[in-house]
Amino acid sequence: MAASTSQHALVSVKSLCTGANFGFEKRTSKVRFVLVGRCCSGTRKLGLVCASNSHSSVMEPAQLPLSPESGNTPKKSSESALILIRHGESLWNEKNLFTGCVDVPLTPKGVDEAIEAGKRICNIPVDVIYTSSLIRAQMTAMLAMMQHRRKKVPIVVHSESEQAHRWSKIYSEETKKQSIPVITAWQLNERMYGELQGLNKQETADRFGKEQVHEWRRSYDIPPPNGESLEMCAERAVAYFKDQIVPQLVAGKHVMIAAHGNSLRSIIMHLDKLTSQEVISLELSTGIPMLYIFKEGKFIRRGSPAGPSEAGVYAYTRSLAQYRQKLDNMFQ
As annotated, the active-site residues are: 87, 190
Decide: 248 and 254 in contact? Cβ < 8 Å. Answer: no
Q: Does 100 appear as a known binding residue?
A: yes
Q: Does 217 appear as a known binding residue?
A: yes
| Integer Rg of the chain from CA | 20
The secondary structure element, H or E, covering residue 8 is helix 2-16
Q: Does 86 appear as a known binding residue?
A: yes
Give the angle 81-87-89 at the CA atoms, nearest 5°: 150
Q: Does 87 appear as a known binding residue?
A: yes
Q: At what angle do helices 108-120 and 135-145 cross, to 10 degrees?
A: 50
In angstroms, what CA-CA distances link 147 with 85, 113, 114, 142, 258?
14, 12, 10, 9, 15
Q: Does 190 appear as a known binding residue?
A: yes
CA distance 143 to 28: 36
Q: Does 89 appear as a known binding residue?
A: yes
Amino acid at 309: S
Q: Does 150 appear as a known binding residue?
A: no
Q: Does 218 appear as a known binding residue?
A: yes
Decide: 260 and 188 in contact? Cβ < 8 Å. Answer: yes
Helix (H, G, I), strand (E, B) or coil at 125: coil
CA distance 278 to 30: 11
Give the angle 11-135-272 at the CA atoms, nearest 5°: 55
CA distance 7 to 299: 30
Q: Does 19 appear as a known binding residue?
A: no
Q: Does 32 appear as a known binding residue?
A: no
Q: Does 235 appear as a known binding residue?
A: no
Q: Does 90 appear as a known binding residue?
A: yes
Q: Does 66 appear as a known binding residue?
A: no
Q: Does 99 appear as a known binding residue?
A: yes
Decide: 2 and 192 in contact? Cβ < 8 Å. Answer: yes
Q: Does 195 appear as a known binding residue?
A: no
Decide: 114 and 106 in contact? Cβ < 8 Å. Answer: yes
Q: Does 262 appear as a known binding residue?
A: yes
> Per DSSP, what are the bridge partners of residue 181?
155
Q: Which residues are annotated as a binding site?
A: 86-93, 99-100, 136, 190-193, 201, 217-218, 261-262
Question: Which residues does the annotation place in the binding site for substrate?
Answer: 86-93, 99-100, 136, 190-193, 201, 217-218, 261-262
